[in-house]
Amino acid sequence: MTSPSGRAAVAVVVVAGALLVAAVGSFAGVAAQPAPTPEPMTSAGTASVAAGDAVDQFGQVRGEPDLEAYLPQPTVPTGGETTIEVDLLNTGEMDIGSDIDPRVTTARSLTLEAEAEDEDDPIAVTTGEVAVGDVPPGTPTSVPIELAVPDDAADGEYELDVTVRYSYTRTIVPNGSTNYDSSRSEELDVTVVVDDGARFAIVDAETDAQVGGTGEVRTTLRNVGDETARDAIVTGSASGSGVTVGANGPPDVFVGDWAPGENRTVTFDSSIAPDFAGETYVLRSSVEYRDGDGGELASPSSRVGVTPTPEQRFAVDGVDGSLAVGHSGNVTGMVENDGPLAVDDAVLVAESTSPGVTFPESRYALPDLEPGESAEFSLDAAVTPEADAGPRQFRFTVEHESGDRVATDESTARIEVGPGQSFAVDGVDSTLEVGYSGSIDGTLTNDGPRTVDEAVLVAEPQSSRVTLGESRYALPDLAPGESTGFSFDADVSGQADPGPRQVRFTVEYTGDDATLTEESTARIEVAPREPEFAIEADDPVVPAGETRRITFEITNQRPETLSSINAGLYADDPISAATDEAFVDELEPGESREIWFEVSAAGSAGVRTYPVELDFRYDDERGNDRISDVTQYPLEVTEPVDDGGGGPSIGTIVFGLLALAVLVGGAVWYRGRQ
């Protein structure tokens, strides 16, 4: 006889073996399936699917059903059996593809089985497993089941577990021989309300709202209970992505007293977003009321599927344009109303995705259009001279009324922009030097395609240290391919650094009754500054305590004649200038002239080299008053010259003066004592 613990061990081994056999069979089944077509991968390693495409680049479609169960009329009375309808709404879910594709979202061969969630609940489901069949996405599928509710069941809510089993096609490979099927079992929950008082059921619901717009949803409810609901208020809500009930206010409607068997119709504002993906959304309604005793009660919600009108669609076709850089043109095309409704007072709005292309008037009023009807449009457009030639993307939006709001539908088109007038600035050179005047020269060529007249070349140095005497140069008439030279006078600040500079050239010319421009840039070189004067002195030496005349030879190093040359010499203690100015009336390029200054060295000056500074104020050939840079020149101070005299030394004189001061002071003190 095997012991209980031994039998348990054997059971564990048997179960483990069964699981192993099942796993091996499962892997074998997977191995037998043809390998799915590889999905394109992004750099992050995930499948890449372009937004708005129905399939990926290999033609695959992948999705699955997405089921929700609800009871349109959840309230049941006590005593006997009651049939309730379980509505299954399949909204579908796509993994590859943006539109709900019933080939992969339909739940096939679905069966449904319900039971009370709590075995102690008084209600019982008497219907067994129900074969429902295929449940496609969109319209709800109703499944009747029988409930037994005893007379002594307490009013309240009771949960039912609804189990659905189905199969579906997970992936479709159009070019393959095999689709990939799966099966699934799901458990859904619904709530049954046991109530013998006022009870409400939705008997009808419809909406005039369109996807992407607003409108009204009208719901008719019936008091299916056996009690009058007093001061009843009906509240609505929606379940579905992008659906709003009560868009312009609270979704509450007061209906007053509501007798058993009486129908009431209430209306709610609603809004459907453009990205609403399903065909149907769930509308829920509940009723708050007072019973005969004045108690405040709230009924369980009733639910119904509501299908809005599909989104209005338009097609913009045959878009073309006569656009060129720097000129005006027009954009033309055709707008077609693809339905489902007729539209009036619609407007086509054109928008360029390029800042270089603009519409003076971007709104085009369309005529009334029935579904399938078309209308032509033409819009003026302008292309800036700074724009580049090439294709441009344009967005077209049709604005139309949907419910009580303006809805839109967008599309895009591609238009080619032709080249505009162009010029070439070549051979740009300069004679610029730090601190002096010069010129900027070059050649301008009309590269076409049009002849230009009365054009002007504008030069703009991109440095504040370089200025032009006149920045606008009038050009002659130029046919395509013709060239002309130009020259601009320019000055360079003395504080500028030598090196390259950028100059922007702009050609202003007339086109389309407007002044158009085209820009180009060139690089010029600013040479280092050379001193105006070369300075030489012959043995500039001053003995300490002496004054000497120092002679300098100055040479004009500029390529122009300089005049009214005032030379100044500056020195710091212990050096001073007894004569600190000199004048030369004129120096031609390369000409030299001597000038002199009287310079003194204090007796206390040490024997060494001291600097003196010279600068020059002069007029150039244009009559400009200029000041040169300061030039330092070395001056040698030597030992004092001994003149051989026998006079007392400075020390002796100082000692004598001190002694005299002491004697005078003593005498004054003594007389004061007397």
Beta bridge partners of 267: 218
Domains (ranges, CATH) in the chain? 62-194 (2.60.40.10), 200-306 (2.60.40.10), 314-417 (2.60.40.10), 423-526 (2.60.40.10), 533-638 (2.60.40.10)
| Residue 59 contacts residue 39 (beta carbons within 8 Å) | no
Res 3 pLDDT > 70: no
pLDDT digits (tens, 9 = 90+) for 175-231: 766 778 999 999 999 999 887 677 788 999 998 888 878 888 899 999 987 789 999
Q: Residue 433: name the closest of 567, 502, 554, 531 by CA.
A: 531
pLDDT value of residue 657: 62
- Please, which pLDDT band fits residue 659 given cuts at 50, 70 and 90? low
CA distance 553 to 555: 7
What is the mean pLDDT of the segment spanning 101-127?
93
Alpha helices in 78-236 (DSSP H): 102-105
Helix or strand holding residue 662 (H, E): helix 650-673
- Other CB atoms within a 10 A radius of the CB of residue 86 amount to 24
pLDDT value of residue 153: 83
| Residue 505 contacts residue 458 (beta carbons within 8 Å) | yes
Higher-pLDDT residue of 36, 674: 674
Strands 180-194 and 75-76: parallel
| Residue 330 contacts residue 380 (beta carbons within 8 Å) | yes
| Residue 627 contacts residue 617 (beta carbons within 8 Å) | yes
Higher-pLDDT residue of 382, 530: 382
Res 655 pLDDT > 70: no
Higher-pLDDT residue of 591, 451: 591
Look up residue 208 and give its DSSP letter: -
Concatenating the DSSP letter of every residue in 557-573 gives -SSS-EEEEEEEEE--T
Look up residue 571 and give its DSSP letter: -
**Quick one: tokens of 45?**
């390693």
State the residue for tokens 């007796």.
603
Considering the chain, what percentage of its residues have pLDDT values greater than 90?
Answer: 43
State the residue for tokens 């409704």.
341
| Residue 189 contacts residue 218 (beta carbons within 8 Å) | no
pLDDT value of residue 145: 95
pLDDT value of residue 142: 94
What is the mean pLDDT of the segment spanning 483-494?
90
**pTM for this structure?**
0.41
State the residue for tokens 């967008």.
410
583-622 b/e (C-beta count within 10 Å ≥ 16 → b): ebeebeeeeebebebebbbeeebeeeebebebbbebebee
CA distance 615 to 595: 13
| Residue 409 contacts residue 390 (beta carbons within 8 Å) | no
| Residue 389 contacts residue 419 (beta carbons within 8 Å) | yes
Out of 212-216, 304-308, 523-527, which region has the weakest mean confidence (pLDDT)?
212-216
Cis before 449 (ω within 30): yes
Cis before 574 (ω within 30): yes
Q: For residue 606, how many C-alpha atoms fall within 13 Å in the half-sphere facing its CB?
A: 3
| All residues at 6 or more sequence positions from 203 whose CB lies less than 8 Å from its CB, including other chains | 220, 221, 222, 263
**Quick one: tokens of 237?**
């809500």
| All residues at 6 or more sequence positions from 596 whose CB lies less than 8 Å from its CB, including other chains | 549, 550, 551, 552, 579, 582
pLDDT digits (tens, 9 = 90+) for 56-89: 556 788 999 999 999 988 878 777 788 999 999 9
Strands 514-527 and 432-433: parallel
pLDDT value of residue 665: 60
- Please, which pLDDT band fits residue 144 given cuts at 50, 70 and 90? very high
pLDDT value of residue 29: 36
Res 174 pLDDT > 70: yes
Out of 66-70, 132-136, 495-499, 546-550, which region has the weakest mean confidence (pLDDT)?
495-499
pLDDT value of residue 530: 80
Mean pLDDT score across all residues of the chain: 82
Higher-pLDDT residue of 301, 283: 283
pLDDT value of residue 599: 93
Burial of 348 (0-12, 13-18, 19+ CB in 10 A): buried
Res 39 pLDDT > 60: no
Q: Residue 635: name the closest of 601, 669, 659, 661 by CA.
A: 601
CA distance 500 to 522: 10
Out of 148-157, 343-352, 439-448, 513-522, which region has the weakest mean confidence (pLDDT)?
513-522
pLDDT value of residue 221: 93
What is the mean pLDDT of the segment spanning 330-344?
89
pLDDT value of residue 457: 94
**Quick one: tokens of 556?**
């004009």
pLDDT digits (tens, 9 = 90+) for 355-410: 889 998 999 999 998 999 999 999 999 888 788 888 999 999 998 877 666 777 78
Q: Residue 522: name the closest of 628, 433, 440, 422 by CA.
A: 440
What is the mean pLDDT of the segment spanning 21-30?
36
pLDDT value of residue 42: 32
**Quick one: tokens of 322?**
């006569």
Greatest CA separation for the chain = 157
